[in-house]
Amino acid sequence: MSRFATPVIPALLCISMFLAGCAGGPEEKEAPGAAGQIKADVLELAKQVMAVAKIELAERDEPLDVPGYDRIESRRKEGVPIEVTGVFVENGKYLLVPEPGIPLDDFGRVTLRTYDGREYEAVPHSFLMDAPGMLLRVKIGEGEAAPAAVAFEGIKPFGFGDAYMSAHLQEDDAVMDVAVVGGAVSHESAEGEKEVGYFGHRALGALVLNGEGKPVGFVMAERMWDTPEGRTTWRGTTLMQMRRITCDEMKKMLEETAETVRKSVIKLEFTYRDEDGEGYGMPGGYSSAPEEVFGLVVDERGTVFVPRDMDEGTVNRIEDIAFKDEQRVRHLGRFVGLSKNFGGFVVKFDDMPPVPPVRISAAGRMLRAQPFISAHIVEKRGKTTVIARFNRVSRADRIEKSKYNPDPPSREDAGLNIEGRLETDAGDLAVNMDGELMAFVSKIKFPDAPGADDDRRFRHYRYRPGGSGDYRYLIFSRISETLAGAEDRFEEDVMPKTKREGKRVVWLGVEYQGVNKDLAEAMDVKGPTNSGEKGLLVVYVYKDSPAAKLGIKKGDILLEVIPEGKIDQKKELRVDGHGGGYGRRRSPMPTWRDRRNYLTTLLTEIGKGKEVELKYVQDKQEKKAALTLELAPPDFETAEKYKDEITGLTVRNLTYEVRHFYKLKDDEKGVVIEKVEPGSPAEVERLIARLLVRKINDIEVSDVEHFEELIKEAQKQKRETLTVFIEFMGFTKFVELKPDWPVQVEE
C-alpha cells in the first residue's frame, strides 16, 4: 500500500437524504436525531469501504477491428484511464465494480483510491455470472492491513414504496465526494422483476442501504432489479453467492469460441450480372464485381445461413454463389430465400465438403444480464478472423404494439427485443458460456410515424418507404423453420432472376402527370388534393390494365395507395411534372416514357400479389377501390431481343407502351430497333434506335424470332442487299443494307 505524495485535498460532502415511503408512527417523532445518526453512519461506512478504480489502458500493436472500439482507442492515445467506483468485499480481498466494458487485454495498471487517500494496486480477477459486475483482486503488501470491507445484510424483497438510500464515491479534480440520495421501489416489470427507481442521480457503483442505513446492495446497472430465479443487478447477498468466471477462464473461453466459430464460417463469393440502370429515377448502374460475404454452416446437409440483409434488386442480379474449400476447389450453391422478418438469407450447397456445423443452443430466449460471447467476423490479412469479446444482455423484452409500430412482428423468428451491452454490427454472433450459438445481430424494419415517407419515394432497396432500421439479437432456435427452408418464411418472388425477369415492375396501367395548385383549382379538386400538394392526374389508361378493370379513366386523380390493414403505411401520391422520363437516350428524338417511374417503383416496393386500397377522384367525387397488385406485361426493357452481328441491328418485340406511342393496332406487326452498332451496315445507312422495322425483303416481320429467321435466310441465299422497310411516326422509308456475309469454308 502507498499514499499520494501530495497532501489530500479536504473532501467535499454533498449530502442529501430522502426517505420516501417510510412508515409513520413513533419513529417519525424521533426523525431528526435518528436521521442525523443514520446519515453519519452511512457517510462513515462509505468512506471506509468504497474506492475509485482507475484502469490504465495497456498498449496494443493495433486497435481491435470491432464496432465502438474507436472510443477506447481514443482514450488510450490521450492517456485517459477508465474510472469505475467499487466497494471492498470479502475482508478487503476484492473490490466489486460494475463491468467497465473493455476487453481483458486492455487492462493495464489498476489503481484503487479511497476517500481518505489510501492507494492500492489491483488486477482483474473474475466476472459475476448473472450480474454485470466484476471483482478486482486487491494487492496487499506484506505487513499491510487490508481495507475495510462491507458486509451485506440479507433483507426481504423490497415492496412498493419501501425506502432505500444509496451512497456514491466519486473523484473530480482529485477531490473525493460522497453523495447520499434516497429513493423507493417504483414498479414491477412485465417479466415479474421488481425494479428500484432512482431519485437524484443514476450512478453505477453506488452502495445501496435500507431505510435503517444497513448495506444491502451495490448498483451494477442503471436499472436495479431482482428476479424470482435469483438474478439481480444490486442485491448484495445474492451477488456474493453468485457463480464467478475467473479472468483466466474467460480468456480461454474467448480463444475457444473464436476458433470454433471460425471453423464453421465459410467465405461465399457472389457474382452479379451487369445492370446499366439508366431508367428515370432509378440507380445509376450496378457493378458485376464479385462480392465476398461470410456464411455460417448450420447443419451437415449443406445449409449456410448468412446473417445480413440484401435488397431485392441485388438478389435478382445474382448469377452464382460459390465458395472454395481448403484445396481451392470451387463449389456452387443455390439461393434458398431472403427472410421476411429480419436481415438474413439461406444458401444451400448440394456438394458441401466436410465443414463442422456450429452447435445451436435450444434455448428460446436470452435473459437480462445473461453473459455471452460476441463473435465479430472480419477478413484480416487474407484470412477469416473471429474476434471474440465478453458481452452481456442489457435488454430482453417483447416488442409491443404502438402507433409507431402498428404491426409488430408476431412470428417466432422476430418476437423479442434483445440488445447487448457492447456495440455490434449486423451479422455478429452470440455464443453462450457452453460454446453454443444462441443468437445473431440482425436489422429489423419497423414503420415510422404516418407521413414519414413523404420524401422517400425513390428508395430502391428491400424496405418499404417510411421505415427505420433497428439492430438487435435474434435467437437461432426461433428461426428453425427459416433455416429449414420453409417457403412461407421468405420474401415472395425475391430470387435470382434473369436480366429480363429482374426488370419486371408492378403496374397500375396509367400514364400520368403531377397535380399543382393551379391545376387543382381549375379542376375544382383543391380539397382532395390538398390544394395540389398531392395527386397524379391520369392522362391515359392502358387497355386491359388493372386501372381499366377498376373503371379508372382519363382525367381521374390518384390520391393514395394503402397496403391492406396498414393505414399508417399509406402512400400519398405526388410527383412534379410528368410521370416518368423518356426512354434511354440512344436516339436523337424523345420516345415513350420509361416504365420504371415513381408509381411503378412504389407499387413494386409494396410487392406483387399484395392487397392495397386505392383512393382517387373521379368526376369530382372521392372514391376507393380494392386492388391486388400484379406484374406489368413485358415492356421495352424486358421484351425479347435479338442482336444481329452482320447488319449491326439489335431489335426488340413490340410492347404495350411502344404500340401506344406509335398508335399501332393490336394486329399490326414489326420490331423496334434498340441499338445500332458503330461502323455497321445499318449505321452506314443512317438507321437509328427507336425506328420500327416493318418488313425485310418485302416480307412482314412478326417478331424478333421471325427477324432472325429472315436474316439467316438472306445469308443462306447470299443476297447482296437487304431491303428494310422502316417507319417512324407515320413516315416510312425503304433502306438497302449491304451486309458483309462471312465466308463459309466447305469441309
pLDDT tens-digit series, residues 702-725 = 999 999 999 999 999 999 999 999
- Note whether 508 and 599 are within 8 A (CB): yes
CATH 2.40.10.120 occupies which residues in the chain? 1-242, 248-497
Query: Can you tell me the mean pLDDT for 338-346?
Result: 88
pLDDT at 588: 46
Query: Hey, what's the cell of 569?
Result: 403505411
**Helical H segments across 56-125, by residue range:** 69-78
CATH superfamily of 641-737: PDZ domain (2.30.42.10)
Residue 266 φ/ψ region, left for φ over 0, alpha for ψ in the -120 to 50 degree band, beta for the rest: beta
pLDDT(401) > 60:
no
Q: What is the mean pLDDT of the chain?
A: 82
Cβ neighbours, 10 Å, residue 195? 16
Residue 620 φ/ψ region, left for φ over 0, alpha for ψ in the -120 to 50 degree band, beta for the rest: left
Residue 204 CB burial class (10 angstroms; 0-12, 13-18, ≥19): buried
pLDDT(33) > 90:
no
CATH superfamily of 504-631: PDZ domain (2.30.42.10)
Q: How far apart are CA 194 and CA 187, in angstroms?
A: 6
- The H or E element spanning position 521 is helix 517-522
pLDDT(102) > 90:
yes
Query: Hey, what's the cell of 269?
Result: 463469393
- Report which of residues 677 and 478 the model is more confident about: 677
Closest CA to 42 of 181, 176, 249, 224: 181
- Report which of residues 251 and 37 the model is more confident about: 251
pLDDT range class, residue 744, cuts 50, 70, 90: low
pLDDT at 503: 79
pLDDT range class, residue 627, cuts 50, 70, 90: very high
Task: Convert the pLDDT of each residue in 234-285 to its tens digit.
Answer: 889 999 999 999 999 999 999 999 999 999 999 999 998 876 544 333 333 4
Query: Can you tell me the mean pLDDT for 49-63?
Result: 94
- Note whether 282 and 460 are within 8 A (CB): yes
Beta bridge partners of 321: 270, 333
pLDDT range class, residue 340, cuts 50, 70, 90: confident
pLDDT(395) > 60:
yes
Q: Strand, helix or coil at 499? A: helix
What does DSSP assign to residue 656?
A: H
- The H or E element spanning position 482 is helix 480-483
pLDDT at 7: 31
Residue at grid coordinates 452447435:
359
What does DSSP assign to residue 582?
A: B
- The H or E element spanning position 660 is helix 656-662
- Note whether 37 and 31 are within 8 A (CB): no
Sign of CA dihedral 298, 302, 305, 306: positive
> Which amino acid, 516?
N
Query: Hey, what's the cell of 636?
Result: 421495352
> Which amino acid, 282?
M
Give phi and psi for 605, each to the nearest 5. -65, -35
Kindly report the CATH number that applies to the domain delimited by 1-242.
2.40.10.120
pLDDT(409) > 60:
no
C-alpha angle with apex 360: 364 to 311, nearest 5 degrees? 85
Flag the least confident range among 50-59, 448-457, 608-617, 696-705: 448-457
pLDDT at 415: 47
CATH 2.30.42.10 occupies which residues in the chain? 504-631, 641-737
pLDDT at 177: 67
pLDDT at 90: 96
Task: Convert the pLDDT of each residue in 178-220 to its tens digit.
Answer: 666 666 555 555 455 555 554 334 578 989 888 788 999 999 8
Task: Convert the pLDDT of each residue in 503-536 to its tens digit.
Answer: 788 999 999 999 999 999 999 999 999 999 999 9
pLDDT(23) > 50:
no
Greatest extent of the chain over all pairs of C-alpha atoms, in Å? 122
pLDDT range class, residue 578, cuts 50, 70, 90: low
Which fold would CATH assign to domain 248-497? Thrombin, subunit H (2.40.10)
Give phi and psi for 745, each to the nearest 5. -90, 120
Cβ neighbours, 10 Å, residue 3? 10
Query: Can you tell me the mean pLDDT for 600-629?
Result: 91
Direct distance between the N- and C-terminal alpha carbons of the chain, in angstroms, rounded to an integer: 101
Task: Convert the pLDDT of each residue in 628-677 to its tens digit.
Answer: 999 999 999 889 999 999 999 999 999 999 999 999 999 999 999 999 99
pLDDT at 458: 28
Closest CA to 554 of 454, 660, 634: 660
Q: How far apart are CA 421 and CA 369, in angstroms?
A: 9
Cβ neighbours, 10 Å, residue 184? 20
> Which amino acid, 245?
I
Q: How far apart are CA 597 and CA 632, in angstroms?
A: 13
Q: How far apart are CA 632 and CA 657, in angstroms?
A: 11
